């Protein structure tokens, strides 16, 4: 028996654009510069920073200081990129764009830190806010900064508006024991501030009980308290917090207000954490 011949497929032309003539000049958009490592999982590093910057309505421009091999379970490998490429990339962006804020995350090694410091000098001199998250190691996995941490980060510490160490990072940078309460966090933050940053935000997320972060700047010391959200801390929380602060400062918010607002926002995102992979959760959107 012969099968009936199928009908030929239809072919239609549609016009997807509006028939009116569209005349629109470009609108000006300011940028926040992100300098951090690439975590392919998107939970931390450049992709997570970019997410925050877009949410604030800035254009995100930036460069990648290192490639990493990681997923939601762990980080097992990192490879710094070329410092001269990074400084050339930054120099071109600074010449071209209106940069209102800078977030620096993983810098991988001292050569990279020096290259970044040289290329953002002009921004620091014109008082563009610079937030440095002194990333030393992955919560689950390998070190993300080579060599002596203080030696590596010192070129950037001296030009940062704010540095945001967690308890481990602060203990390493001040060559001290792990702070156990708000008072010892405050002492260590003050010592770290002597290396040049305008302010230090010591993050106490790993303390027992109530969460307290301590902000130390020229106006005095502030304990920022918050309720602990039970459960595993999502991957990339430090990256998101420092990017949030950089964006708020880029809008012109005073430091204290920017930090408190950012802490609140990140706590909300922790409360809405999502399981994307098999390992640690990622922050809510």
Binding residues vs ligand PLP (CB under 6 A) = 36-37, 39, 44-45, 68, 75, 105-106, 135, 138-139, 144, 235-239
Burial class from Cβ neighbours inside 10 Å (0-12, 13-18, 19+) for residue 266 reads: buried
Q: Smallest distance from the beta carbon of 206 to ligand PLP, in angstroms?
A: 11
CA distance 233 to 139: 10
Q: Smallest distance from the beta carbon of 274 to ligand PLP, in angstroms?
A: 15
Q: Which is nearer to ligand PLP, 57 or 271 (CB)?
A: 271
Q: Smallest distance from the beta carbon of 170 to ligand PLP, in angstroms?
A: 15
165 within 8 A of 200, measured Cβ to Cβ: yes
Q: Smallest distance from the beta carbon of 43 to ligand PLP, in angstroms?
A: 7
Q: Smallest distance from the beta carbon of 75 to ligand PLP, in angstroms?
A: 5
Q: Which is nearer to ligand PLP, 36 or 172 (CB)?
A: 36
- Asked whether the CA dihedral 276, 282, 284, 285 is positive or negative, the reply is negative
Q: Smallest distance from the beta carbon of 238 to ligand PLP, in angstroms?
A: 5
Q: Which is nearer to ligand PLP, 101 or 186 (CB)?
A: 101
145 within 8 A of 222, measured Cβ to Cβ: no
Question: Structure tokens of 61?
Answer: 């421009």
Sheet with 59-70: list strands edge to edge. Answer: 75-80, 59-70, 31-38, 99-104, 130-132, 162-163, 199-202, 211-217, 220-226
CA distances from 207 to 29, 167, 178, 225, 265 (A): 40, 8, 10, 12, 20
200 within 8 A of 193, measured Cβ to Cβ: yes
Q: Across the strands, what pairs with 38?
A: 45, 67
């Amino acid at each position: 028996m012969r099968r009936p011949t199928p009908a030929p497929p239809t072919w239609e032309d549609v016009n997807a654009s509006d028939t009116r003539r569209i005349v629109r000049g470009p609108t000006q958009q300011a940028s926040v510069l992100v300098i951090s490592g690439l975590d392919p999982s998107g939970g931390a590093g450049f992709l997570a920073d970019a997410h925050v910057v877009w949410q604030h309505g800035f254009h995100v421009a930036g460069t990648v200081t290192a490639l990493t091999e990681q997923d939601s379970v762990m980080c097992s490998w990192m490879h710094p990129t070329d410092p001269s490429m990074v400084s050339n990339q930054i120099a071109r962006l600074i010449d071209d764009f209106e940069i209102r804020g800078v977030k620096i995350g993983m810098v991988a090694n001292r050569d990279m830190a020096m290259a970044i410091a040289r290329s953002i000098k002009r921004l620091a001199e014109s008082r563009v806010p610079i937030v440095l998250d002194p990333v030393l190691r992955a919560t689950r996995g390998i070190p993300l900064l080579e060599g002596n941490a203080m030696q590596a980060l010192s070129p950037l510490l001296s030009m940062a508006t704010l540095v945001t160490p967690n308890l481990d990072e602060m203990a390493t940078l001040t060559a001290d024991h792990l702070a156990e309460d708000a008072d010892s966090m405050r002492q260590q933050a003050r010592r770290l501030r002597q290396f040049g940053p305008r302010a230090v935000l010591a993050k106490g997320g790993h303390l027992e009980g109530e969460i307290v972060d301590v902000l130390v700047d020229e106006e005095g010391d502030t304990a920022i308290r918050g309720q602990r959200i039970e459960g595993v801390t999502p991957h990339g929380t430090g990256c998101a917090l420092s990017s949030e602060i950089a964006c708020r400062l880029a809008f012109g918010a005073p430091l204290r207000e920017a930090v408190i607002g950012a802490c609140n926002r990140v706590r909300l995102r922790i409360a809405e954490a999502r399981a994307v992979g098999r390992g640690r959760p990622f922050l809510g959107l």
